[in-house]
Amino acid sequence: MTDRLVLVINCGSSSLKFALRSESARQPLLSGLAERLGTAEGVMNWKAGDAGEQVQLPDGRHSSAMASLLPLIARFAQQPLTAVGHRVVHGGEHFTGARVIDDEVIAAIEDSSPLAPLHNPAQLTGINEAMTVFTDIPHIAIFDTAFHQSMPAHAYRYALPEELYTKHSVRRYGFHGTSHRFVSTQASLLMGMEPGHGAWLTAHLGNGCSTCAILDGRSLDTSMGMTPLEGLVMGTRSGDVDPNLHSHLARTLGWDLERIDHMLNRESGLLGLSGLSNDMRTLVAARAEGHAGATLAVEVFCYRLARSLAGLAVALPRIDGVIFTGGIGENSPLVRELTVRHLALFGLAIDPAANATPPGNPARQIQADNSPAILVIPTDEERQITEECLALLDLAATQPVEQEA
């Protein structure tokens, strides 16, 4: 079989991230990011092996950014594209897996837009532009929420009046599904288990952070909820707070909803706690210099992470391993060490030498003797999207694709 190619697209309101992936190569053939779209300073940076360039996009349009991909792909792809895979943040309850995009899928993404007003409309723009430029090949949507559709009702329902769920879709959905799925599959391979099997607690720790309990490839619970604000402390997001905080701030300080939203999403988390930075690297360095805010931020981050993992453990019959991934999870021995210290109750303990291994290493085990497995696994969401696109096309080739939206 020839090595099939997938163009992976992740479109934001002012950005367009792309990667050209082949079925077999671990690294992208071409990748890049167009930024500041919607302004006169639109710019695209791309790289392919040793080659790379910055291209100005003075009209700042998504359509120009998309069109400028065509000659690049012609240059670096050895053969025609097989498909375009689009990351879509919110699929509501419509999707449990990847779907070939048609009018029905577009309508369902629109229907879920009120749940992700910053993401879904931008991703629809990306889909429309890409379909105009890359014609005659399938466009496939991969949803951050789809992996978590296997959660049971006792995990996804909030204790709120039923009508809010049945009429207004208020429930827990979860995000980062592509990453949680990818690292749990890699963990089963690393541990010599049947691919996709095992009972895992995963911690995706990047600018956004979430945990997940996974049994044999199915998400049983996760820390994010109706939106990606619920759960862990993140770079600038608060994670869980008392829901009465909103009314308290409105009553005592006169804050409106927009201000409260902004504070919880943009001024909180590591940034709010430390008063210094949302970047874990900066905080780890400042903590080493004795910075009190940075020290507190790291401690709260790790304690809340451990508490979340411990809570999610109740969803599993056993723990085959705890997995750290994302920029922080893959690169911070300190965060892994402080977090696992809070999980001694589960018999979890880290081997300091294995934990200290310099970053950039491939997937590895870092547990001490007699501890359940603790794994560091680099995530690769684009590879997961590529694999899901190709698997869907293989399935469609053997049987008609079930329509579920």
Task: List residues near ligand AMP by CB under 6 A.
Answer: 206-207, 235, 279-281, 284, 326-328, 331-332, 359
Query: Shortest gap between Cβ of 167 and ligand AMP (angstroms)?
Result: 35
Q: How far apart are CA 146 and CA 70, in angstroms?
A: 30
| Residue 385 DSSP label | H
DSSP states along 104-161: HHHHHHHHTGGGSTTTHHHHHHHHHHHHHHS-SS-EEEEETTGGGGG--HHHH--SS-
Compare residues 58 and 362 and give the one whose CB is closer to ligand AMP: 362
Nearest residue (CB) to ligand AMP, 239 versus 327: 327
Min CB(329)–ligand AMP separation in Å: 8
Q: Per the residue annotation, which of 144, 221, 320, 380 is the catalytic one?
A: 144
Q: Which long-range contacts (CB under 8 A, 24 or more apart) does 46-49 make?
A: 46/72, 48/20, 48/72, 48/75, 48/76
| 251 residue type, one letter | R
Shortest Å, Cβ 182 to ligand AMP: 13
In the bound state with ligand AMP, the residue whose beta carbon lies nearer, of 105 and 286, is 286
The whole-angstrom separation of Cα 33 and Cα 16 is 6
43 φ, ψ (degrees, to nearest 5): -150, 145
100: helix, strand or coil:
strand
Gap between the Cα atoms of 13 and 37, Å rounded: 8
Active site residue 144: yes
Supply the minimum distance, in Å, between the C-beta of residue 209 and ligand AMP.
Answer: 9
Nearer to ligand AMP (CB atom), residue 187 or residue 335: 335
What span, in angstroms and rounded, lies between the C-alpha atoms of 88 and 140?
10
> Smallest distance, Å, CB 265 to ligand AMP?
15
User: Nearest-CB residue to ligand AMP?
Assistant: 327
- DSSP element (H, E) containing 7: strand 5-11
10 vs 331, beta carbon nearer ligand AMP: 331
- Least distance to ligand AMP from the beta carbon of 332, Å? 4
Distance CA 90, CA 94 (A): 9
Q: Which is nearer to ligand AMP, 69 or 294 (CB)?
A: 294
At residue 120, φ and ψ (nearest 5 deg) are -60, -45
Residues taking part in catalysis: 144
